Amino acid sequence: MEPSPKDGESAAGGEPSRGAAPSSGVVVQVREKKGPLRAAIPYMPFPVAVICLFLNTFVPGLGTFVSAFTVLCGARTDLPDRHMCCVFWLNIAAALIQILTAIVMVGWIMSIFWGMDMVILASKCS
Per-residue pLDDT of the chain (126 residues; tens, 9 = 90+): 555 555 554 455 555 555 555 667 888 887 777 788 899 999 999 999 999 999 999 999 999 999 999 999 989 998 888 888 999 999 999 999 999 999 999 999 999 999 999 999 999 876
Contact yes or no for 90/37 (Cβ under 8 A): yes
Cα 2 to Cα 8, 10, 36, 63, 93: the distances in Å are 17, 14, 56, 65, 63
- Residue spans of the domains in the chain: they are 43-125
Q: What is the pLDDT of residue 106?
A: 92
pLDDT at 17: 53
